[in-house]
Structure 1
């Protein structure tokens, strides 16, 4: 029985050891399949003994030398099998640890000991020495240095040879705006030539068998593109806000393109859906495209609108009002076209305009009523011609001046002292004002003066009338200058002369001032006294 218990213990130990060996983690190497070992023979599985008696079973004598030797040999074999499997498992684990990357097991990518720093330094040094001894790498270095020194030479030659870059355009030159942009672009010639030369050298190196590499040239070319964008933004951005926005948008995009992450970034923007319009998704990329193309197209629209309105206003065969109406219609059409082009460039479905106009209608109903009213009032003013560019108007509050421009929301009135009054268009459709030059440019003015009580008034009237008529701007039609008696004053007889002129007494026209000087000279010439207030003081004794 002791031998039987020993055999059962060996079987349980082998089963537990086998289960422990095969239950390994995912990173461990798969166990090597071992040949199956037959189970130890138990009492139930012992070979049948020769038949003795049908009614009686003969007991097994475990003390038999042959059986005892066989059991001991079986136990020794099982023990040797377990030891061999353990040794094999240990060897497998050691090989797995040796094959793993020691850097990957570290928590930090930076060296934390002197030995690691030394190993990293040797690795970097060997890499640099390998590059310096590599013909493709040295060829790329040579191409970069050559492009760096050739770019300023080519730029200098082009500046001297091409007249567009040689001198600043004059004020009266044709296409001055374009000429100014070309002249200012002379500072970008060096980075442009650097980018072009690097691109050329990259193609050449790629097709030379001894070189065959262009990765470093491509990298430097991308950085040169970033430098070119930075220079263009610095020279052409109109203000600090535009400069900052362009710097923080264009340069990161250029870096993404240089290092090959632009496609992933673009895919991220296209996959970020904000809303749906017309059955199509509106993504973050759509919003960005709307901003970019909106700035570009509206800038071009402003430029085209300014040029078109100048051309329309230069048509002398049309009256001023017709020119202004045509210019305003041209402006509306230009910006409507720009709006549609921006939506098309950003791939926004035009069916979504219904949503946009619905939002605009809601905005007008909630808070944009004054803006919409001023816009409609501007159209009414242009079409009914109640106020035209060039009219002299006087508003409530004693604000007066000449209408210089009628815009979408307001009208600009220029005063005689050089100030501009911005008047909402609704002031001309809802309020009262005076238009001195609405239908007739003729204006009647008057100048007051006084003469002494001993003056012959009958002789005075023709003297003043003939003197005022000598002024070149005083008209004989519709009436001659009229000298009128106004009142008996304390010290003088108050008189007045009324006369007609074409135009308004402001700016270059000084009708009343000139007539005042004429009256002064005429009275002096005829020795007519101009009295001044006198007071007699009596003293009581």
Structure 2
């Protein structure tokens, strides 16, 4: 093919394009596209003004449904445009109208809509890049009618391993739909958990039960859909699963026990998020989160302890704050035997009651007010103790014990009350010096 033939074809293409542009059909389709976008814009604005969630951008800490509604409101215009364009192209074919420009506009509108959807809803950079560079080209090939030829080409590239045929199309389908299912499952899980935890009529334990069940249900649904995409017969899998279930039950006995223990803990309400607990091995911390297999305890020094759920049931557990956030604490000290104990107790009791975190006052029941008593008679002085009640745990930013020790020390010094220290008295029974006889060897 020489240059003259190419120039002839190019001139013919330009002539056909010029005739198409100046034709009546082209002008009619341009007017239709402009009218469709105008109607879609006005209709989308009307709908957004009447739907509360789509009117203004939600602030920080807003409900997930509020954010979802606001993002969906931003997609009203492209969705209405695509719907009207598709309806117009269908009517054009029905009445023998060559709506090629409308079909081109429809393809462009769909691609722009998908790009906006990815930008608005996909927060993961990796998943968003995968959808832009893999998902959007596949949608474009489908819209222009080229995708079946690509699928046939991928099916022709196959590899046989025994009785199993692995094709490039099967691998690509599993990867594409697997990524899509992963994103849908993760996004649905986050939104569902946020909706459940923000429900005002449910208590914390019931919310955690529903969150755990929702997470398990999503996992099962996603797993079954992925198996179906991979072409695995679920009926045959059920028969095989019955045989494997026994082996898995024995091998995963610990995991199953922890999962069931977590459900039992949440149902009997013996442990909730926010409780301060102490385990039999001395570990202490606040329950921050329940997982399928373990619970997260946050200590005052910033560490997270992952405790298997089974341990909360099978071992001794001290729950400090489940019944009542108020706790009683005790501080020990000593004074000299010459001290006026009755007067000293009143002084220390009044001093401890002045601390802002100590529960005190005439309106407080007598048994919850600060109290100073004798504990025992020691070798060097009288052993005393102070009991007091406070809200929360005496640790971290609520550390009261150290403040009260310093307060008691300063109060005793201000009132010239002696704090004893160990003393020993040595007595010599036989005061006569021992005589030493000098002997000389014979």
Alignment of 1:493-508 (within 5 A): 495-500=384-389, 503-506=392-395
- Call closer, same or farther: CA 1:161–1:375 in 2, change over 3 Å: closer
Q: Deviations over 1:211-249 (max 9, x none)?
A: x32234323421331222122112211110221232244
2:433 alignment counterpart: none
Shift of 1:254: 1.0
Q: Report what 2:71 is aligned to.
A: 184
Native 8 Å contact 1:394 1:433 kept in 2: yes
Contact 2:212 2:292 in 1 (8 A): no
CA distance in 1 between partners of 2:394 and 2:292 (Å): 29
Report how far residue 125 of structure 1 moved. Answer: 0.9
| Contact 2:327–2:391 (CA under 8 A) maintained in structure 1 | yes
Q: Using the alignment, how far apart are the partners of 1:247 and 1:274 within structure 2? A: 33
Q: Confirm whether residue 127 of structure 1 aligns to residue 13 of structure 2.
A: yes
1:202 to 86, 89, 92: 89
Residue of 164, 167, 191 corresponding to 1:303: 191
The alignment partner of 2:296 has SS state of strand
Give how far 1:255 is off. Answer: 1.5
Question: Do the aligned partners of residues 484 and 532 (structure 1) sit closer, same or farther apart at CA in structure 2, a change above 3 Å counting?
Answer: closer
TM-score by length of 2: 0.67
Q: 1:171 to 1:386 in 2, by over 3 A?
A: closer
Deviation sequence 1:475-496 (CA, Å, 0-9, x none): 6448973433578799x87643
- The answer on whether the counterparts of 1:298 and 1:335 sit within 8 Å (CA) in structure 2 is no
RMSD of the TM alignment (CA)?
Answer: 5.0
Contact 1:309–1:327 at 8 Å: present in 2 too?
Answer: no
Q: Which residue of 2 aligns with 1:423?
A: 307
1:472 aligns with 2:362: no
Conserved 8 A contact 1:477-1:500? no
User: Do the aligned partners of residues 398 and 383 (structure 1) sit closer, same or farther apart at CA in structure 2, a change above 3 Å counting?
Assistant: same
Aligned to 2:144: 259
* Pairing 1:374-453 to 2, within 5 Å after superposition: 374-379=258-263, 381-382=265-266, 387-395=271-279, 399-416=283-300, 420-428=304-312, 434-437=318-321, 443-449=327-333, 451=335
Map Cα deviations across residues 72-92 of structure 1 (whole Å, 9 max, x no partner).
xxxxxxxxxxxxxxxxxxxxx
The residue aligned with 2:167 is none
Describe the SS at the equivalent of 1:231: helix
Residues 185 and 266 (structure 1), Cα distance of their counterparts in 2 relative to 1, 3 Å cut = same
Gaps of 5+ in 1: 1-110, 278-282, 534-541
Cα separation, 2, equivalents of 1:435 and 1:362: 37
**155-164 vs 458-467, which moves further:** 155-164
2:154 and 2:420 map into 1 onto residues whose CA distance is 86
SS of 2:98's partner is coil
Cα pair 1:294 1:342 within 8 Å, conserved: no
Specify which of 346, 352, 374 is matched with residue 484 of structure 1: 374
1:499 Cα deviation (Å)?
3.8
Residue in 2 that maps onto 1:228: 113
Question: CA 1:444/1:206 → structure 2, altered by over 3 Å: closer, same or farther?
Answer: closer
> For the pair shown, which has the larger CA radius of gyration, 1 or 2?
1
1:21-47 Cα deviation digits (max 9, x unpaired): xxxxxxxxxxxxxxxxxxxxxxxxxxx
State the structure with bigger RCO (CA 8 A, min sep 6), 1 or 2.
2
In structure 1, how many angstroms separate the alpha carbons of the residues matched to 2:70 and 2:368?
A: 58
> TM-score by structure 1 length?
0.57
Given candidates 221, 244, 247, the residue that maps to 2:129 is 244
Distance 1:208 1:314, change over 3 A: closer
